[in-house]
Chains A and B, each alone.
Chain A
Amino acid sequence: MDLNLSPQELSFRDEVRGWLSANLPDDLRAKVLDYQELSKEDLLRWHRTLAARGWVAPAWPVEWGGTGWSAVERYIFEEETAMAGAPPVVPFGVTMCAQVLLKFGSDAQKKRFLPRIYNGDDFWCQGYSEPGSGSDLASLKTRAERRGDEYVVNGQKIWTTLGHYGDWIFCLVRTDSGTSKRQEGISFLLIDMNTPGITVRPLILLDEGHEVNEVFFDDVRVPAENLVYEENQGWTVAKYLLGHERLNTGRIGQSRREILRLRELAARTLVRGRPLLDDVRFRDRLSRVEIELMALEITNMLFFDEMRLNGKIGPEVSMHKNRGTEIQQAITELMMQAVGPRAQAFKPIRYDGFDEFMASSASRYFNFRKTSIYAGSNEIQRNIFAKMALGL
């Protein structure tokens, strides 16, 4: 065991760093660092840049475009892209749908969808939650009725992140409502969002931002060939995907970047002529978050290394989701505190020394309350861990 980076790992880091400084466009970087909304075009432009380099889907099998990187190389890549201020690779295609197809999809489905996901030809989104089915996902009601070689879908999904950008949506639908166990009778369906009968309606969050939507299905006709895995066996697929969804929620590189910016802000913010960073009460709160993040980085790498060795996602991923999101929330809280009374202004007027990133601190604080709710609330994660890891 050795947790110091090897010379090879350091040179890989330099390679990634060098490539990013040459290929990450300034306008995208500025938008990310100022927390500006990223358009569909922004997201896909970066996605395609990574795809052209062969780095958009490191975790995939090599024959489909994966990089074959070790857990450490993947971590270095994540960290460097986040530190550089690169836009995120939207997870719904690369991390979620593709992983499902790789595990459960037919050869025809893999050939049809994976290259398009890789190249950023389609924007994917996720159709899981429903108004009556949040934590209790298996109670979902959206129906898909088989008619000939089509399914006819009726119902409603909610919290559809970036659904307004979506070209395709993967959905959990009920194909049999007469089963004794609710987990049976669910199927996993890929739906082209340009199909007639689909309506996307914005849900404005408390920070007044538009990132999630309601999606309505009204007699939407879906070719039967878009069924992934077996009819009524979708719950198996759903659980597999949820593991991958949680893998994505730690956002350690982003947190590291935000802590550095928070340090800078606290160093130049004066309180009675002294830097806020030297205020013991503030500084200790910041240190605790930083230490927790240092630990989580290693916890995550140990976990990814285990995953590489035994080929599956352990239940510990639930705990990483919790710690990762708690850290993100703590950072937004400290950031708002560091900004001070000016944080009250909504989209405040800019003045010297007060930039976009400071102006958005309160909005981000409000927005980030979502992290302990989405991808399975942190309470649900504890339930999962208690059952799967502790046998309670």
Chain B
Amino acid sequence: MDFQYTEEQQLLADSVARLAEQHYDFEARKRVIASEAGHSAEAWRQLAELGLTALTLPAEHGGFDGGALDMVATMETLGQSLMLEPLVSTVGLGARLIARLGHNAQRQALLPAVAEGSLILALAHSEHDSRHDPAQVSTRAELHAGGWRLRGAKSLVIDAPLAGKLIVSARTAGESAEAAGLSLFVVDASASGLRMNTLRTQDNRRAADLTLEGVQLPADALLGEAGQAYEAIVEALDFATVLACAEAVGAMRSANLATLEYLKTRRQFGVPIGSFQALQHRLVDMFVSAEQARSITLLACSRVDAAALGELAVAERMRTVSAAKVKVSEAARHVGQEAIQLHGGMGMTQEMKVAHTFKRLTMIAQTLGDADWHLERFAANS
């Protein structure tokens, strides 16, 4: 074991922190939210320049063969500054699936563009009745006209309005809730027959509900072999989950530091409210929650990386990732709710960053499997 970030990991995180300071302070973030694009093209370009869109991609396609641990410090920084950039969608989910399932030609066609930052991806997987179950897919793909034709609907595809390509799951066999028969397709965002109803999430991300009305795709749009995508999807979701956990850890740190600062400066009854023991103890417990969440996130990242190298059983990866998501989801709720409470009325306003941090934390807990779903999976793999 080794508990310190490597010099490279630390330098990268420091660079991202500087980027966040220069281009993503609270006021700049408001402008990004109000913008047409919904994210900052300039920040995205700089993240790519720093190598973040390439870090976890295979070296033979323009990447650096990095793992989840290489991303942790960076994801924490993203969480602290509440960046809206589509890193998890693009490299955590989309590129991960292309790298794992795609034929060499597919990988070569897409991954170098992701690595250099010119291609944003989104995973169109969940459907209205999926909740958190990765096998609950009804969208179908049929062989048609020498290629594939997709029919169905996808729900709340995060970052879809930003993406150049969508990775869409569909059944080539089997019934909804079955693991076998799931396939993935690369679909151009402007494909005919693809309807996108865009929406904004509670934490100001862009998303879309998709309707696929007989979207016709060429034969090589299928990633890998037909019907074999389930395990890769679960792996990518695990990978994205630990990245989201790391982002939440950063957001919790931000909420805690903001609350600490508020307790030191806000005065009532002639003294800083931080002198009250009732509030001190609650803040201490918030810091403990965040620290525990960080520890188990680091452990889960290590396990995801070891399993990706074939050095660890898949069940152990799933068990640890689920442990992390349970802890992070519950810590996120604890820290988020307490941060608002300790800020008093001010925490309820749009003016305070802590309110936005709370919303982001709440949404992370709600996505990629909530605490109850992961408790179930943890027990099933224990």
Residue of B whose beta carbon sits closest to that of A299: B295
Residues in A with CB closer than 8 Å to B69 are 1-2
CB of A295 within 8 A of CB of B378, answer: no
Chain B residues, Cβ within 8 Å of A379 = 281
Which among B1, B323, B378 is the interface contact of A72 at CB below 8 angstroms?
Answer: B1
What is the distance, in angstroms, from A68's C-beta to the closest C-beta of chain B? 17
Residues A2 and B379 in contact in the complex (CB < 8 Å), given A291-B326, A295-B327, A301-B3: no
Chain B residues with Cβ under 8 A from A263's Cβ? 382
Contact with B along A314-349 (1 / 0, CB 8 A): 001001001100000000000000000000000000
Contact A4 B4 (CB under 8 A): no
Interface positions of B from 248 to 299, Cβ below 8 Å from A: 260, 263-264, 274-275, 277, 280-281, 283-285, 287-288, 291-293, 295-296, 298-299
Q: Does any Cβ of B come within 8 Å of A385's Cβ? A: yes
A2-B69, A390-B283 are known contacts. Are A383 and B296 too (CB-CB below 8 A)?
no
* Most chain A Cβ neighbours within 10 Å, of B1, B72, B281: B1
In the assembled complex, B9 has its CB within 8 A of some CB on chain A: yes
Known A-B contacts A3-B1, A3-B299, A295-B327; the reply to A386 vs B264 at CB < 8 A is: no
**Cα(A71)–Cα(B303), bound, Å:** 20
* Choice from B1, B263, B288, B375 contacting A287 with Cβ under 8 Å: B375
Cβ-based interface call for B6 (8 A):
yes
A264 to B258, CA, bound (A): 44
Report yes or no: B296 in contact with A319, Cβ–Cβ below 8 A.
no
Residue of A whose beta carbon sits closest to that of B302 = A3
Interface members, chain A 1-51 (any B CB < 8 Å): 1-6, 9
Task: Tell me the minimal C-beta distance from A73 to chain B in angstroms.
Answer: 10
CB-contacts of B289-335 with A (<8 A): 291-293, 295-296, 298-299, 301-303, 305-306, 311-312, 320, 323, 326-327
Also in contact, A4 and B292, with CB within 8 A (given A288-B375, A319-B287): no
Q: Mark A283-319, 1 if CB is under 8 A from B, else 0.
A: 1100110111011111101100100000000001001
A386 to chain B, nearest CB (A): 4
Residues of B within 8 Å of A323, CB to CB, are 288, 292
* Chain B: CB-nearest residue to A309: B4
Please give, as numbers and ranges, the residues of chain A lying within 8 Å of B285 by CB-CB distance. Answer: 382
Q: Place the interface of chain A in its size category.
A: 35 or more
If over half of A's interface residues share one DSSP class (helix, strand or loop), that class is named, otherwise mixed; here it is helix
Task: Give Cα A391 to B283, complex, Å.
Answer: 12
Give the contacting residue for B327; candidates A284, A292, A301; CB below 8 A.
A292
Tell me if A1 and B260 are in contact (CB < 8 A).
no
Task: Check if A52 is an interface residue, CB within 8 A of chain B.
Answer: no
Query: Chain A: which residue is nearest B1 at the CB level?
Result: A72
Contact B312 A291 (CB under 8 A): no
Judge whether A390 and B1 touch: CB under 8 Å: no
Task: Please report the C-alpha to C-alpha distance between residue A383 and residue B283 in the assembled complex, in whole angstroms.
Answer: 11
B3 pairs with A71, CB closer than 8 A: yes
- A242 proximal to B (CB < 8 A): no
| Residue B2 interfacial (CB < 8 Å) | yes
B323/A294 in contact, CB under 8 A? yes
Instruction: State in angstroms the CA–CA spacing of A386 and B277 once bound together.
Output: 9
Using known A-B contacts A71-B3, A301-B1, A385-B284, determine if residue A291 contacts B298 with beta carbons closer than 8 Å: no
Complex CA gap A386/B323 in Å reads: 28
In the assembled complex, which residues on chain B have CB atoms less than 8 Å from the CB atom of A4? 1, 302-303, 305-306, 311-312
Which chain B residue lies CB-closest to A316?
B291
A379–B311 CA distance with the chains assembled, in angstroms: 43
Contacting residue for A3 out of B277, B291, B298, CB 8 A: B298
Instruction: Tell yes or no: A108 within 8 A of B by CB.
Output: no
The 23 listed contacts between A and B (C-beta, < 8 Å) are A1-B2, A1-B4, A1-B9, A1-B298, A4-B1, A4-B302, A72-B1, A288-B375, A290-B323, A292-B292, A295-B293, A295-B299, A301-B3, A319-B284, A319-B287, A382-B280, A382-B281, A383-B277, A386-B281, A389-B287, A390-B283, A392-B264, A392-B280
A residues near B (Cβ < 8 Å) are 1-6, 9, 71-72, 263, 283-284, 287-288, 290-292, 294-299, 301-302, 305, 316, 319, 322-323, 379, 382-383, 385-386, 389-392
What are the nearest 7 A-B pairs in CB distance?
A: A298-B295, A3-B302, A386-B280, A295-B296, A295-B292, A305-B3, A299-B295
- For the complex with contacts A291-B326, A382-B284, 9 further pairs of A-B residues with Cβ separation under 8 Å are A1-B298, A4-B312, A291-B296, A295-B323, A323-B288, A382-B281, A382-B285, A386-B281, A390-B280
